[in-house]
Amino acid sequence: MATTGMDPEIFDQFIDQLKRYVRERLIPAEAEVIANDRIPDDLLDEMREMGLFGLTMPEEYGGSGMNVPQYVETIRVLSYALPAYRSITSINLGMVCSALKNSGTDEQKAEWLPRLAAGEIACFGLTEPGSGSDSAAMATTARKDGNGYVLNGSKRYITNAPHAKLGLIMARTSQEALPRNAHVSAFLVPMDSPGISVGKPDRKMGQSGSHIADIYLDDVKLPGDALLGGEEGKGFATAMQSLDNGRLSVGAASAGYAQRILDTALRYASERKAFGEPIANFQLIQAMLADSRAEIYAAECMLRDASEKADKGKAIIECASAKMFASEMCNRVADRCVQIHGGAGYLAEYEAERFYRDSRIYTIYEGTTQILQLVIAKNMLREFAAGAAA
Protein backbone atom coordinates (compact mmCIF):
# COMPACT_ATOMS: atom_id res chain seq x y z
CA MET A 1 0.00 0.00 0.00
CA ALA A 2 1.30 3.46 -0.91
CA THR A 3 2.24 5.85 1.86
CA THR A 4 0.46 9.17 2.24
CA GLY A 5 3.53 11.36 2.23
CA MET A 6 3.70 15.12 2.61
CA ASP A 7 0.65 17.21 1.72
CA PRO A 8 0.97 17.81 -2.08
CA GLU A 9 0.51 21.58 -1.83
CA ILE A 10 3.11 21.89 0.92
CA PHE A 11 5.44 19.63 -1.06
CA ASP A 12 5.13 21.84 -4.16
CA GLN A 13 5.99 24.89 -2.05
CA PHE A 14 8.99 23.05 -0.62
CA ILE A 15 10.24 22.13 -4.10
CA ASP A 16 9.96 25.76 -5.25
CA GLN A 17 11.93 26.84 -2.18
CA LEU A 18 14.55 24.13 -2.81
CA LYS A 19 15.00 25.18 -6.45
CA ARG A 20 15.72 28.75 -5.32
CA TYR A 21 18.09 27.53 -2.61
CA VAL A 22 20.00 25.36 -5.09
CA ARG A 23 20.51 28.27 -7.48
CA GLU A 24 21.02 31.08 -4.97
CA ARG A 25 23.13 29.31 -2.33
CA LEU A 26 24.42 25.89 -3.34
CA ILE A 27 25.64 26.56 -6.89
CA PRO A 28 27.42 29.84 -5.94
CA ALA A 29 29.26 27.92 -3.18
CA GLU A 30 30.51 25.17 -5.50
CA ALA A 31 33.88 26.76 -6.17
CA GLU A 32 34.58 26.98 -2.42
CA VAL A 33 33.49 23.37 -1.87
CA ILE A 34 35.75 22.17 -4.68
CA ALA A 35 38.72 24.27 -3.55
CA ASN A 36 38.50 23.09 0.07
CA ASP A 37 37.07 19.62 -0.63
CA ARG A 38 34.39 20.14 2.01
CA ILE A 39 30.96 21.67 2.43
CA PRO A 40 31.15 24.77 4.65
CA ASP A 41 29.61 24.37 8.10
CA ASP A 42 27.19 27.25 7.54
CA LEU A 43 25.76 25.53 4.47
CA LEU A 44 25.41 22.25 6.36
CA ASP A 45 23.55 24.07 9.12
CA GLU A 46 21.23 25.63 6.52
CA MET A 47 20.57 22.21 5.00
CA ARG A 48 19.71 20.87 8.44
CA GLU A 49 17.34 23.78 9.08
CA MET A 50 15.61 23.09 5.75
CA GLY A 51 15.02 19.52 6.88
CA LEU A 52 17.13 17.96 4.11
CA PHE A 53 18.47 15.29 6.47
CA GLY A 54 14.99 14.19 7.56
CA LEU A 55 12.94 14.11 4.35
CA THR A 56 11.95 10.45 4.64
CA MET A 57 11.80 10.23 8.45
CA PRO A 58 8.29 9.87 9.90
CA GLU A 59 6.89 13.10 11.29
CA GLU A 60 6.68 11.66 14.82
CA TYR A 61 10.48 11.39 14.77
CA GLY A 62 11.08 14.93 13.52
CA GLY A 63 11.12 14.26 9.78
CA SER A 64 9.01 15.43 6.84
CA GLY A 65 7.36 12.08 6.20
CA MET A 66 7.85 12.17 2.42
CA ASN A 67 6.77 9.18 0.39
CA VAL A 68 9.14 7.61 -2.14
CA PRO A 69 8.07 9.67 -5.21
CA GLN A 70 8.40 12.91 -3.21
CA TYR A 71 11.81 11.89 -1.92
CA VAL A 72 13.05 10.99 -5.42
CA GLU A 73 11.83 14.30 -6.85
CA THR A 74 13.55 16.20 -4.03
CA ILE A 75 16.84 14.41 -4.72
CA ARG A 76 16.50 15.18 -8.44
CA VAL A 77 16.05 18.89 -7.74
CA LEU A 78 18.88 18.97 -5.16
CA SER A 79 21.21 17.15 -7.56
CA TYR A 80 21.20 20.00 -10.07
CA ALA A 81 24.02 21.30 -7.86
CA LEU A 82 27.34 19.72 -6.93
CA PRO A 83 26.99 15.98 -6.08
CA ALA A 84 28.46 16.47 -2.61
CA TYR A 85 25.24 18.11 -1.40
CA ARG A 86 23.22 14.99 -2.13
CA SER A 87 25.94 12.66 -0.93
CA ILE A 88 26.07 14.10 2.59
CA THR A 89 22.31 13.57 3.06
CA SER A 90 21.52 10.53 0.95
CA ILE A 91 22.87 7.77 3.21
CA ASN A 92 20.68 9.04 6.05
CA LEU A 93 17.64 9.25 3.83
CA GLY A 94 17.73 6.48 1.30
CA MET A 95 19.46 3.68 3.18
CA VAL A 96 19.85 3.96 6.95
CA CYS A 97 16.43 5.53 7.50
CA SER A 98 14.85 2.95 5.18
CA ALA A 99 16.49 0.09 7.08
CA LEU A 100 15.38 1.49 10.42
CA LYS A 101 11.81 2.07 9.27
CA ASN A 102 11.52 -1.38 7.68
CA SER A 103 13.38 -3.51 10.22
CA GLY A 104 14.21 -1.54 13.37
CA THR A 105 12.60 -2.11 16.75
CA ASP A 106 10.50 0.64 18.28
CA GLU A 107 13.37 1.41 20.66
CA GLN A 108 15.90 1.64 17.83
CA LYS A 109 13.65 3.97 15.85
CA ALA A 110 13.07 6.18 18.90
CA GLU A 111 16.79 6.44 19.59
CA TRP A 112 18.15 7.04 16.11
CA LEU A 113 15.53 8.49 13.76
CA PRO A 114 15.20 11.86 15.57
CA ARG A 115 18.99 12.24 15.62
CA LEU A 116 19.29 11.44 11.92
CA ALA A 117 16.41 13.77 11.05
CA ALA A 118 18.16 16.56 12.97
CA GLY A 119 21.26 16.14 10.81
CA GLU A 120 23.55 13.62 12.48
CA ILE A 121 25.36 11.92 9.62
CA ALA A 122 25.20 8.18 9.01
CA CYS A 123 27.14 5.69 6.90
CA PHE A 124 26.28 2.28 5.43
CA GLY A 125 28.92 -0.44 5.80
CA LEU A 126 28.46 -3.30 3.34
CA THR A 127 31.43 -3.28 0.94
CA GLU A 128 34.74 -4.78 2.06
CA PRO A 129 38.22 -5.09 0.54
CA GLY A 130 37.36 -8.62 -0.61
CA SER A 131 33.62 -8.43 -1.10
CA GLY A 132 30.98 -6.09 -2.41
CA SER A 133 27.99 -7.69 -4.04
CA ASP A 134 29.37 -11.12 -3.06
CA SER A 135 28.07 -11.44 0.48
CA ALA A 136 29.32 -15.03 0.80
CA ALA A 137 32.85 -13.59 0.85
CA MET A 138 32.09 -11.10 3.63
CA ALA A 139 34.86 -11.30 6.23
CA THR A 140 33.59 -8.96 8.97
CA THR A 141 32.31 -11.07 11.86
CA ALA A 142 29.96 -10.51 14.77
CA ARG A 143 30.68 -13.00 17.54
CA LYS A 144 28.20 -13.54 20.36
CA ASP A 145 29.57 -12.30 23.70
CA GLY A 146 27.10 -12.82 26.53
CA ASN A 147 24.07 -10.73 25.64
CA GLY A 148 26.02 -8.69 23.10
CA TYR A 149 28.39 -9.02 20.16
CA VAL A 150 32.02 -8.37 19.28
CA LEU A 151 32.69 -7.09 15.74
CA ASN A 152 35.94 -7.54 13.85
CA GLY A 153 36.75 -6.68 10.25
CA SER A 154 36.90 -3.77 7.85
CA LYS A 155 34.72 -1.93 5.35
CA ARG A 156 35.88 -0.14 2.21
CA TYR A 157 34.70 2.87 0.14
CA ILE A 158 32.21 3.91 2.82
CA THR A 159 30.56 7.24 1.96
CA ASN A 160 30.47 9.74 4.85
CA ALA A 161 32.60 7.48 7.07
CA PRO A 162 34.85 10.41 8.18
CA HIS A 163 31.81 12.37 9.42
CA ALA A 164 29.37 9.69 10.58
CA LYS A 165 27.91 9.42 14.07
CA LEU A 166 26.15 6.15 13.23
CA GLY A 167 27.16 3.23 11.04
CA LEU A 168 24.78 0.55 9.80
CA ILE A 169 27.33 -2.26 9.61
CA MET A 170 26.81 -5.66 7.97
CA ALA A 171 28.63 -8.58 9.58
CA ARG A 172 28.36 -12.34 9.42
CA THR A 173 26.82 -14.02 12.47
CA SER A 174 27.44 -17.47 10.99
CA GLN A 175 30.67 -18.81 9.53
CA GLU A 176 28.73 -20.84 6.99
CA ALA A 177 27.25 -19.20 3.91
CA LEU A 178 23.53 -19.77 4.46
CA PRO A 179 20.64 -19.70 1.98
CA ARG A 180 19.24 -16.26 1.22
CA ASN A 181 22.36 -14.77 2.86
CA ALA A 182 21.01 -15.53 6.33
CA HIS A 183 24.61 -15.56 7.61
CA VAL A 184 24.66 -11.73 7.41
CA SER A 185 23.19 -9.51 10.13
CA ALA A 186 22.94 -5.72 10.46
CA PHE A 187 24.17 -3.70 13.45
CA LEU A 188 23.58 -0.11 14.53
CA VAL A 189 27.06 0.99 15.53
CA PRO A 190 27.87 4.34 17.17
CA MET A 191 30.99 5.45 15.32
CA ASP A 192 32.68 6.61 18.54
CA SER A 193 32.60 3.06 19.95
CA PRO A 194 35.97 1.81 21.28
CA GLY A 195 37.76 -0.25 18.66
CA ILE A 196 36.49 1.69 15.63
CA SER A 197 38.91 3.65 13.52
CA VAL A 198 38.38 5.42 10.20
CA GLY A 199 41.05 5.64 7.54
CA LYS A 200 42.18 8.74 5.70
CA PRO A 201 39.63 9.88 3.09
CA ASP A 202 40.43 8.42 -0.30
CA ARG A 203 41.43 10.68 -3.19
CA LYS A 204 38.86 10.34 -5.95
CA MET A 205 38.41 11.07 -9.64
CA GLY A 206 35.59 13.53 -8.96
CA GLN A 207 32.77 14.47 -6.58
CA SER A 208 34.79 16.97 -4.53
CA GLY A 209 33.39 17.64 -1.07
CA SER A 210 32.07 14.09 -0.76
CA HIS A 211 34.25 11.76 1.28
CA ILE A 212 34.75 8.01 1.41
CA ALA A 213 37.07 6.07 3.70
CA ASP A 214 37.75 2.64 5.14
CA ILE A 215 36.32 1.62 8.52
CA TYR A 216 38.28 -0.74 10.78
CA LEU A 217 36.59 -2.72 13.57
CA ASP A 218 38.89 -4.19 16.20
CA ASP A 219 37.03 -6.04 18.98
CA VAL A 220 34.14 -3.56 18.90
CA LYS A 221 31.81 -4.55 21.72
CA LEU A 222 28.11 -3.88 21.18
CA PRO A 223 25.08 -4.54 23.36
CA GLY A 224 22.47 -6.99 22.13
CA ASP A 225 20.08 -4.20 21.22
CA ALA A 226 22.51 -2.99 18.54
CA LEU A 227 21.30 -5.86 16.32
CA LEU A 228 18.90 -4.27 13.86
CA GLY A 229 15.42 -5.61 14.46
CA GLY A 230 16.67 -7.85 17.26
CA GLU A 231 16.98 -10.82 14.91
CA GLU A 232 20.02 -12.42 13.33
CA GLY A 233 20.18 -13.34 9.65
CA LYS A 234 18.10 -10.43 8.34
CA GLY A 235 20.97 -8.06 7.58
CA PHE A 236 21.46 -8.78 3.90
CA ALA A 237 17.74 -8.64 3.16
CA THR A 238 17.63 -5.31 4.99
CA ALA A 239 20.58 -4.05 2.96
CA MET A 240 18.96 -5.08 -0.32
CA GLN A 241 15.66 -3.39 0.59
CA SER A 242 17.57 -0.24 1.48
CA LEU A 243 19.49 -0.43 -1.79
CA ASP A 244 16.22 -0.04 -3.72
CA ASN A 245 15.89 3.44 -2.21
CA GLY A 246 19.61 4.03 -2.63
CA ARG A 247 19.39 3.11 -6.31
CA LEU A 248 16.47 5.46 -6.85
CA SER A 249 18.50 8.19 -5.17
CA VAL A 250 21.45 7.63 -7.52
CA GLY A 251 19.07 7.52 -10.48
CA ALA A 252 17.52 10.81 -9.39
CA ALA A 253 20.97 12.31 -8.86
CA SER A 254 21.93 11.23 -12.38
CA ALA A 255 18.82 12.82 -13.90
CA GLY A 256 19.20 16.05 -11.94
CA TYR A 257 22.89 16.44 -12.74
CA ALA A 258 22.33 15.51 -16.39
CA GLN A 259 19.93 18.45 -16.70
CA ARG A 260 22.58 20.77 -15.24
CA ILE A 261 25.11 19.37 -17.73
CA LEU A 262 22.73 19.81 -20.65
CA ASP A 263 21.93 23.38 -19.63
CA THR A 264 25.66 24.14 -19.60
CA ALA A 265 26.09 22.56 -23.04
CA LEU A 266 23.15 24.59 -24.39
CA ARG A 267 24.61 27.81 -23.03
CA TYR A 268 28.05 27.12 -24.51
CA ALA A 269 26.63 26.07 -27.88
CA SER A 270 24.59 29.27 -28.04
CA GLU A 271 27.55 31.50 -27.17
CA ARG A 272 30.43 29.79 -29.01
CA LYS A 273 30.74 30.85 -32.63
CA ALA A 274 32.35 29.11 -35.56
CA PHE A 275 32.20 30.06 -39.22
CA GLY A 276 30.43 33.24 -38.17
CA GLU A 277 27.49 31.74 -36.30
CA PRO A 278 26.72 29.98 -32.99
CA ILE A 279 27.61 26.29 -33.10
CA ALA A 280 24.07 25.62 -31.81
CA ASN A 281 22.97 26.25 -35.41
CA PHE A 282 24.89 23.22 -36.63
CA GLN A 283 22.74 20.12 -37.01
CA LEU A 284 25.25 17.65 -35.54
CA ILE A 285 25.47 19.78 -32.39
CA GLN A 286 21.67 19.91 -32.32
CA ALA A 287 21.55 16.11 -32.57
CA MET A 288 23.68 15.75 -29.41
CA LEU A 289 21.51 18.26 -27.56
CA ALA A 290 18.30 16.56 -28.71
CA ASP A 291 19.51 13.07 -27.79
CA SER A 292 20.45 14.34 -24.34
CA ARG A 293 17.05 15.92 -23.70
CA ALA A 294 15.19 12.81 -24.87
CA GLU A 295 17.28 10.56 -22.64
CA ILE A 296 16.83 12.81 -19.60
CA TYR A 297 13.08 12.75 -20.20
CA ALA A 298 13.13 8.95 -20.44
CA ALA A 299 15.05 8.71 -17.16
CA GLU A 300 12.63 11.08 -15.43
CA CYS A 301 9.67 8.96 -16.59
CA MET A 302 11.35 5.76 -15.40
CA LEU A 303 12.10 7.30 -12.02
CA ARG A 304 8.52 8.46 -11.54
CA ASP A 305 7.17 5.01 -12.38
CA ALA A 306 9.75 3.12 -10.32
CA SER A 307 9.31 5.38 -7.27
CA GLU A 308 5.52 4.99 -7.38
CA LYS A 309 5.86 1.20 -7.56
CA ALA A 310 8.50 1.18 -4.78
CA ASP A 311 6.15 3.22 -2.59
CA LYS A 312 3.52 0.48 -2.91
CA GLY A 313 5.88 -2.39 -2.20
CA LYS A 314 8.81 -4.22 -3.77
CA ALA A 315 9.99 -2.91 -7.14
CA ILE A 316 13.36 -4.58 -7.55
CA ILE A 317 13.36 -4.70 -11.34
CA GLU A 318 12.01 -1.19 -11.75
CA CYS A 319 14.46 0.39 -9.28
CA ALA A 320 17.42 -1.46 -10.79
CA SER A 321 16.31 -0.54 -14.32
CA ALA A 322 15.82 3.14 -13.49
CA LYS A 323 19.20 3.42 -11.79
CA MET A 324 20.97 1.55 -14.58
CA PHE A 325 19.47 3.65 -17.36
CA ALA A 326 19.73 7.02 -15.60
CA SER A 327 23.36 6.56 -14.56
CA GLU A 328 24.47 5.41 -18.01
CA MET A 329 22.45 8.27 -19.52
CA CYS A 330 24.19 10.85 -17.31
CA ASN A 331 27.57 9.57 -18.50
CA ARG A 332 26.47 9.93 -22.12
CA VAL A 333 25.20 13.46 -21.56
CA ALA A 334 28.46 14.42 -19.83
CA ASP A 335 30.44 12.96 -22.72
CA ARG A 336 28.39 14.96 -25.24
CA CYS A 337 28.89 18.11 -23.17
CA VAL A 338 32.66 17.70 -23.41
CA GLN A 339 32.36 17.04 -27.14
CA ILE A 340 30.23 20.15 -27.68
CA HIS A 341 32.85 22.21 -25.84
CA GLY A 342 35.56 20.81 -28.09
CA GLY A 343 39.07 21.52 -26.82
CA ALA A 344 37.64 23.69 -24.05
CA GLY A 345 35.83 20.63 -22.67
CA TYR A 346 39.17 19.09 -21.78
CA LEU A 347 40.24 22.07 -19.67
CA ALA A 348 39.58 22.37 -15.95
CA GLU A 349 38.69 26.02 -16.55
CA TYR A 350 35.31 24.86 -17.90
CA GLU A 351 32.61 22.96 -16.00
CA ALA A 352 32.32 20.25 -18.68
CA GLU A 353 35.54 18.59 -17.51
CA ARG A 354 34.31 18.42 -13.92
CA PHE A 355 30.88 17.15 -14.95
CA TYR A 356 32.56 14.31 -16.85
CA ARG A 357 34.56 13.21 -13.79
CA ASP A 358 31.69 13.65 -11.34
CA SER A 359 29.28 11.55 -13.40
CA ARG A 360 31.49 8.50 -13.78
CA ILE A 361 30.75 7.05 -10.34
CA TYR A 362 27.00 6.86 -10.93
CA THR A 363 27.33 3.64 -12.96
CA ILE A 364 29.39 2.05 -10.17
CA TYR A 365 28.00 2.63 -6.69
CA GLU A 366 24.71 1.23 -5.35
CA GLY A 367 25.25 -1.60 -7.83
CA THR A 368 27.36 -1.45 -10.97
CA THR A 369 25.57 -1.55 -14.30
CA GLN A 370 26.72 -5.16 -14.70
CA ILE A 371 25.41 -6.24 -11.28
CA LEU A 372 22.10 -4.51 -12.01
CA GLN A 373 21.84 -6.41 -15.29
CA LEU A 374 22.15 -9.61 -13.27
CA VAL A 375 19.58 -8.40 -10.72
CA ILE A 376 17.10 -7.56 -13.47
CA ALA A 377 17.66 -10.80 -15.36
CA LYS A 378 17.47 -13.06 -12.29
CA ASN A 379 14.25 -11.47 -11.12
CA MET A 380 12.75 -11.69 -14.63
CA LEU A 381 13.62 -15.40 -14.80
CA ARG A 382 12.25 -15.98 -11.30
CA GLU A 383 8.98 -14.29 -12.21
CA PHE A 384 8.78 -16.26 -15.46
CA ALA A 385 9.38 -19.55 -13.65
CA ALA A 386 6.72 -18.71 -11.06
CA GLY A 387 4.25 -17.85 -13.81
CA ALA A 388 5.01 -21.03 -15.76
CA ALA A 389 4.51 -23.14 -12.65
CA ALA A 390 1.19 -21.51 -11.78
| Span 133-183, pLDDT tens digits | 666 788 999 999 999 999 999 999 999 999 999 999 999 998 877 777 788
Active site residue 366: yes
- pLDDT of 1 strictly over 70: no
pLDDT in tens, 262-310: 999 999 999 999 999 999 999 999 999 999 999 999 999 999 999 999 9
| Helix, coil or strand: residue 109 | helix
Q: Where are the alpha helices (DSSP H) in 272-312?
A: 283-312
Domain 123-235 sits in CATH at 2.40.110.10
Residue 4: per-residue pLDDT: 85
| Helix, coil or strand: residue 232 | coil
Asked if 326 and 251 touch (Cβ cutoff 8 Å), the reply is: yes
pLDDT in tens, 213-266: 999 999 999 999 999 999 998 877 877 777 788 899 999 999 999 999 999 999
Tell me the average pLDDT across 203-210.
94
**2 confidence band (pLDDT: 50, 70, 90):** low
Percent of the chain with pLDDT over 90: 82
Main-chain dihedrals φ then ψ at residue 227, nearest 5 degrees = -70, 120
DSSP assignments along 217-266, one per residue: EEEEEE-GGGBGGG-TT-HHHHHHHHHHHHHHHHHHHHHHHHHHHHHHHH
- pLDDT of 60 strictly over 70: yes
Q: What's the rounded Cα separation, in Å, for the pair 196 and 189?
A: 9
Asked if 206 and 221 touch (Cβ cutoff 8 Å), the reply is: no
Set 24, 277, 366, 383: catalytic member: 366
- pLDDT of 69 strictly over 80: yes
Name the fold adopted by 237-385: Butyryl-CoA Dehydrogenase, subunit A; domain 3 (1.20.140)
Residue 146: per-residue pLDDT: 94
Angle (deg, nearest 10), helices 235-271 and 83-90: 170
pLDDT in tens, 323-352: 999 999 999 999 999 999 999 999 999 999
Residue 286: per-residue pLDDT: 98
Domain map (residue ranges) of the chain: 8-120, 123-235, 237-385
Please tell me whether the overall predicted TM-score, pTM, comes out greater than 0.95 for this model. Answer: no
Domain 8-120 sits in CATH at 1.10.540.10
Q: Where are the alpha helices (DSSP H) in 51-177?
A: 68-78, 83-90, 97-103, 106-117
